[in-house]
Structure 1
Amino acid sequence: MKRFLELVKDCLHNVKEHMPWDLEERLKENPDILLVDVREPYEYEAMHIEGSLLVPRGILESACEWDYEETEPELV
């Protein structure tokens, strides 16, 4: 079984990291981008990017699968 750091290392080949200061330009290029905010609800309520989808990190995996209470259709 792979350890956490090995899983993260494997994912880095498929997941691109984007810096906050590049977001405005990326949204201009593609206004239909799905922006997922993985913070907690109280953090999202305090401040968030308009149009972002709140999916707290603790439920992200189940939000991406069908048949869970937390399922977010846009992520499936």
Structure 2
Amino acid sequence: MDAVMNNLFLSKRLYDLLKVKCHPDRFIEPTQKEIATGIYQNITKYKTDYQQLLNIKEQVKEQLNITF
């Protein structure tokens, strides 16, 4: 049970970080805005799945050149 609660806690923190860093309104260039929109949709879809959010974080680093 502790592992589940820890996973939810970590998911919330990572979700909050990703949703701010990757919000499509932060990007002016149309290609980056389009990429950010798709990523943002995945962030909201998997907001309680810590492993998926970690995968999305790596995708953000590669595709949007955002550092954490």
TM-score by length of 1: 0.26
**Structure with more of its chain in strand, by fraction:** 1
| Greater percentage in helix | 2
